[in-house]
């Protein structure tokens, strides 16, 4: 069985589809391609690539099918599982530091053999049997730590984000479509403190500022970069084209489509 013939599977607790990564997860791409963005860097995964996507990060990713096929394997390493693992195994730390949301995993036969070993555990629904899911998660994590010991500094850091420069953070991450509670958490603040500090810095409410900032960027991209509204609205944090079009016309008095 070739590694590119791996079926899609998802092991671990359900994760939210929002652009906030609440738990670490391992991602292997068998078919298709995937583009990711974390506010600073763009990443591309091709068949055979794998990575760790880090918790407490803002990130978005989109998939590209290959001959109408897209197959991936995802293992969620939630905090409860990681704490149990940490108590069981003797771990060493490497003082590794990285701000990247996507940590590439080295290609190795251990990874390939592990992925191929999943096939007998698939249920009729295409998922890995729950009876073996934690065992397979432990096995994968042991392999990853053997290949890249520095991952222990990332996976077993159970702290919460510290207080950050709010203005710098928001100017960098305003395009991510997440709720205010997430922005507050990532800047090391309660929601009330986040709103209070935001008002002092921007003299505007967070929701209103986010819409205006996204629309300003949209205007620039459409007029100066000649991009189409249909190509940019999702990347600017709008959930659908109609919401974007309505907000754009309300803000500028002209439709976005008339400028493109």
Write the secondary structure of the chain as one string of H (helix), E (strand) and C (coil): CCHHHCCCEEECCCCCCCCEECCEEEEEEEECEEEEECCCCEEEECCCCEEEECCCEECEEEEECECCECEEEEEEECHHHHHHHHHHCCCCCCCCCCCCCEEECCCCHHHHHHHHHCHHHECCCCCECHHHHHHHHHHHHHHHHHHCHHHHHHHCCCCCCCCCCHHHHHHHHCCCCCCHHHHHHHCCCCHHHHHHHHHHHHCCCHHHHHHHHHHHHHHHHHHCCCCCHHHHCCCCCCCCHHHHHHHHHHHHCCCCCCCC
Each residue's pLDDT tens digit, 80-124? 999 999 999 988 898 898 989 999 999 999 999 999 999 888 877
Same domain, 48 and 143: yes
* CATH code, domain with 146: 2.60.120
Report how many domains make up the chain. Answer: 2
pLDDT digits (tens, 9 = 90+) for 11-61: 988 777 779 999 999 999 999 999 999 988 999 999 999 999 999 999 998
Domain region containing 190: 166-252
Shared domain check, 179 and 130: no
The last residue of a domain, from among 155, 175, 209: 155
Q: Do 110 and 20 lie in a common domain?
A: yes
Q: Do 116 and 180 reside in the same domain of the chain?
A: no
């Amino acid at each position: 069985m070739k590694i590119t013939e791996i079926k899609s599977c998802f092991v671990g607790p359900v994760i939210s589809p929002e652009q906030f990564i609440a738990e670490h997860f391992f991602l292997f791409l068998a078919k298709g391609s995937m583009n990711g963005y974390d506010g600073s860097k763009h990443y591309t995964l091709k068949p055979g690539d794998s990575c760790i996507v880090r918790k407490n990060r803002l990130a978005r990713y989109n998939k590209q099918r290959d001959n109408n096929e897209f197959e991936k394997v995802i293992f969620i390493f939630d905090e409860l599982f990681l704490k149990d693992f940490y108590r069981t195994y003797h771990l060493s730390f490497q003082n590794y530091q990285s701000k990247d949301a996507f940590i590439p995993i080295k290609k190795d036969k251990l990874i390939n053999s592990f992925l191929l070993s999943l096939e007998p555990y698939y249920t009729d629904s295409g998922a890995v049997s729950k009876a073996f899911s934690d065992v397979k998660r432990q096995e994968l994590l042991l392999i990853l730590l053997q290949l890249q010991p520095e991952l222990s500094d990332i996976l077993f850091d159970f702290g919460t984000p510290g207080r950050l420069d709010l203005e710098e953070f928001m100017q960098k991450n305003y395009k991510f479509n997440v709720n205010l509670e997430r922005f507050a958490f990532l800047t090391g603040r309660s929601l009330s403190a986040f709103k209070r500090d935001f008002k002092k810095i921007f003299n505007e409410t967070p929701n209103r500022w986010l819409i205006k900032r996204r629309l300003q960027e949209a205007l620039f991209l459409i007029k100066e970069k000649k991009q189409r509204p249909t190509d940019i609205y999702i990347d600017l944090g709008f959930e659908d084209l109609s919401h974007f079009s309505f907000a754009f016309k309300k803000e500028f008095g002209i439709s976005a489509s008339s400028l493109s």
